Amino acid sequence: MDKNEFTELALARGVTDPNYYGAILSIANKITLKKGSDLLTVGIAGAQGSGKSTLAAMLVIILQKVAGYRAAVLSLDDFYKTRQERAQMAIDIHPLFAVRGVPGTHDVALLNRVIASIKAGQATTHPVFNKAEDDRDEAWRNVQCLDVLVLEGWCLGAKPQVESSLLIPINQLEETSDPDGTWRRRVNAELASTEYQRLFDCDINTFLAVPDMESVFRWRLQQEQNLPVGTRVMGEAGVREFLMYFERITRAMLEEMPGRVDITLSLDKTHCLDSR
């Protein structure tokens, strides 16, 4: 695929960044160099609205058209627990677990089983999460045998924090709705679990580093506004509160992940890759 053809595909997805082509090729080259006979897994992490889904989709196109690989994307978002399951967590553990997003609100056991089936060369199915309705769709999606699996998710690769760092609330949500730290300690324990950390053990890891939390708000709000009309589409106040659920882990990832992942792509405030 030449640059002109790639640019047309990128523009169709709203990507105008001139540095995008080189970034995608750098990831594809790493995959080609590392690919053996077994399934190769590629993780893409980054805050809400950073462009994980677009990057993953474009990478799969390149892998299919240029390298001839059977490649597909799995999104951590599709494995959110159902609204009913989270409502029960809110009763049993803490009210904040009614809101999707943090570790503990994903069905990681199911996702690990799906990945295990793909690694075994078996066709399988997985759920599809409808964000506008805040619940899973009834129909599941098929996944065939693959050479490369691209796994994208906001907290993919995150590490648990030390207990002492959880003591002081970092935003209004934690201060007013989790004053004793019950929720954030449970989120941290879920993140530390074998199921999450096994899921995060990808062969190649990429991190989209956002410039600041205000940019995350603007980009996530734009995503919300582009959703199909539904009863659960959020406005500005809703998005700001929603991002407070993610803020602690997002800030921790920004501090430490660039030092240990294979590829870090830094974004500027215009949502372009920083070429410096």
100: Cβ contacts below 8 Å, ≥ 6 apart: 80, 81, 86, 129, 134
Q: What is the pLDDT of residue 13?
A: 76
Quick one: pLDDT band at residue 232, thresholds 50, 70, 90? low
Q: What is the pLDDT of residue 250?
A: 96
**Does 136 map to a domain?**
yes
Per-residue pLDDT reduced to its tens digit, 137-196: 999 999 989 999 999 999 999 999 999 999 999 999 999 999 999 999 999 999 999 999
Q: Tell me which amino acid residue 117 is.
A: S
When divided into structural domains, the chain yields a total of 1
Residue with tokens 């998710």: 153
Q: Report the alpha-carbon distance of residue 210 to residue 218 in Å, rounded.
A: 12
Q: Give the mean pLDDT of 4-19.
A: 78
**Does 12 map to a domain?**
no
Per-residue pLDDT reduced to its tens digit, 46-97: 998 899 999 999 999 999 988 899 999 999 999 999 999 999 999 999 999 9
| Angle, helices 20-34/52-62, rounded to nearest 10 degrees | 60
**Does 274 map to a domain?**
no
**Does 5 map to a domain?**
no
Q: What is the pLDDT of residue 231?
A: 52
**Does 70 map to a domain?**
yes
**Does 149 map to a domain?**
yes
Q: What is the pLDDT of residue 267?
A: 93
Q: Report the alpha-carbon distance of residue 14 to residue 255 in Å, rounded.
A: 29
Domain carrying residue 194: 19-153+165-266
Residues found in the chain: 276
Q: What is the pLDDT of residue 229?
A: 62
Say yes or no to pLDDT of 105 above 60.
yes
Distances in whole angstroms, Cα of residue 31 to Cα of each of 20, 28, 83, 145: 17, 5, 36, 18
Q: Give the mean pLDDT of 112-124.
A: 95
| Angle, helices 213-225/236-256, rounded to nearest 10 degrees | 130
State phi, psi for 229 to the nearest 5 degrees.
-60, 125
Say yes or no to pLDDT of 128 above 80.
yes
Of all helices (H) and strands (E), which one includes residue 138? Answer: none
Quick one: pLDDT band at residue 221, thresholds 50, 70, 90? confident
Q: What is the pLDDT of residue 215?
A: 93
The CATH number of the domain holding residue 85 is 3.40.50.300
CB atoms within 10 A of CB 268: 14
- What DSSP state is assigned to residue 81? P
| Angle, helices 52-62/3-12, rounded to nearest 10 degrees | 140
Quote the tokens at residue 79.
Answer: 């494995």
Whole-structure pTM value? 0.92
Of all helices (H) and strands (E), which one includes residue 205? Answer: strand 204-209
DSSP-assigned states of every residue in 173-186: HHHHH-TTSHHHHH
**Does 10 map to a domain?**
no
6: Cβ contacts below 8 Å, ≥ 6 apart: 21, 24, 58, 62
Say yes or no to pLDDT of 230 above 60.
no
Residue with tokens 């599941």: 140
Q: What is the pLDDT of residue 99?
A: 95
